[in-house]
Every structure is written in C-alpha cells, then in structure tokens.
Structure 1
C-alpha cells in the first residue's frame, strides 16, 4: 500500500494540473462578466504577442542581412542585430512598466487584469507595426 500511495498522489496531481491548464470556454464577442472580460483581454494580448514574435523574427532576419551587406563594406558599419536586440529589451521594460502603471486605475480590483492585458495588447500591436516598418525599410 505504501508503494501505491505515491503513484496515486502523482496521478491526482497530474489530473489536477491538466485540468487547471484548460482554458475556460468564453465567447469573447458577448463577454459581460468581469472574469470573462479578463480572459478575453488576456487572449487578445497573447494573440498580439504571437504576431509580435513573428514580426521580431522577420526584423531579426532583415537586420542580419543588413549587417551582412554593411559588414561587407566595413565591419564598423555592422551592428543592426545588436541594435535591434537592445531596442527590443528596452521596449519590453517600457511596456511592462507602462502596463503595470495602467493597472493602477483599478489597483486590487477585478478590473485590473483587464486593464493590464489591454495595455499589453495595445503596446504590443504598436511595436509589431514598428518592426514591420523596419523590415519594409530594410527591403527597399
């Protein structure tokens, strides 16, 4: 029996963990309850973040090409990849701080997560647009 108890505990933990990871079914087009609005705002942010990641990869590839071209002229001209990394790190710090600040409008309330996620989504979409413009400029 003692050997079975740890196995049963692991199975219960696994089942609980898998259940906790399931996303609630929420119709975001008709959400009205605050919990649903929070879930929808988080989904919106995660979708925006996925687009940002795609745009960042494209921008990184474009900056690698820029470095290759400029480095062929003079190694001192290369550095676009490092500049993009530096800018992205700085932007992440700005985004996180700005969106934490946005949450203070409802600090401690049930609306705070929605405000933070909404801010994250908005700033992320703006950054995605900037990265796409960077790629377009590099291609011209």
Structure 2
C-alpha cells in the first residue's frame, strides 16, 4: 500500500512539473510558482523580441515606419511595465509579488505577440497593415 501511495505521489508530482509552463499556479510552493512565472515571461519576451526583429527587417527600407515602430514598441514597454507595477502593487513586498508581477508581464507580452504576429501575416495590398508582406 505504501508503494502504491508513493508511486501515485510521484506521478502527480511529475505531471504537475511537466505542465509547469502551462499553469504555474498549479505548483505547490510559492518559490516554484515564482520561478515558473519568471521563466514563462522570459520565454515570451524572447519570442516577442524575435517577432519585433522580423518586423524591423520588413520595414527597414522605410525610415518613417521604422521610427514609428521603435517609438510604438518603447511606448508599449513603458505601458506594460507601468500597468504590471500598478497591477501587482497590492502585493508589493510580499512573497507572491514575483509571481503576480511576472504573470502580468507574461500576459501582456503574450497579447503583444499576437499583435505582432498579425502584422507579419498581412496579405499583400492590405491598406490597414503597416508591415509589408514577406517576399
């Protein structure tokens, strides 16, 4: 019976960590949740940077669009950081702060990723899209 319970506990623990990237809130310690949320944000931020560079490449021949892209991204980063600072201010100084802050940063970054992906998928001739289609 003890072996069965130990086996079941190991399976549950393994499946919890296997899905850590999907839902950090399912982890059992605050430290693990904080680390998981931080890593999730780092992954999202790397993906965002890759997409941003792809867009930079597509607009590089248009100085005006390049300038607007840079200004927009800087403004978005300032907004994201301010929003997440405000959003997590209720737990500032607490052990859950890194989780709440990273989760906010990750969520907002995921939304921005979707926006940038949309720009990269514009069909040729789409007048609502500032990013030219890929050649």
Please list the CA deviations of residues 78-99 of structure 1 after superposition, one character each: whole Å capped at 9, or x if unmatched.
5110000000000010010011
Q: Which blocks of at least 5 consecutive residues in structure 1 are unaligned?
A: 1-26, 68-77
Does 1:126 pair with 2:108? no
Q: Which blocks of at least 5 consecutive residues in structure 2 are unaligned?
A: 1-16, 21-25, 123-131
| Further displaced range: 109-118 or 127-136 | 127-136
CA contact (8 A) 1:59 1:132 kept: no
- Equivalent position to 1:43, from 39, 42, 53: 39
CA RMSD after TM alignment: 1.9
Residue number in structure 2 paired with 1:139: 133
Displacement after TM superposition at 1:31 (Å):
2.1
- Equivalent position to 1:57, from 50, 53, 60: 53
Displacement after TM superposition at 1:104 (Å):
1.4
Please list the CA deviations of residues 63-110 of structure 1 after superposition, one character each: whole Å capped at 9, or x if unmatched.
124x2xxxxxxxxxx511000000000001001001111111322211
Query: Between Structure 1 and Structure 2, how many residues are aligned?
Result: 104
Displacement after TM superposition at 1:56 (Å):
0.4
CA contact (8 A) 1:95 1:123 kept: yes
Residue number in structure 2 paired with 1:101: 86
CA distance in 1, matches of 2:65, 2:118: 15
Displacement after TM superposition at 1:45 (Å):
0.1
CA contact (8 A) 1:60 1:81 kept: yes
Q: Quick check: which one's helix share is greater?
A: 1
CA distance in 2, matches of 1:60, 1:135: 11
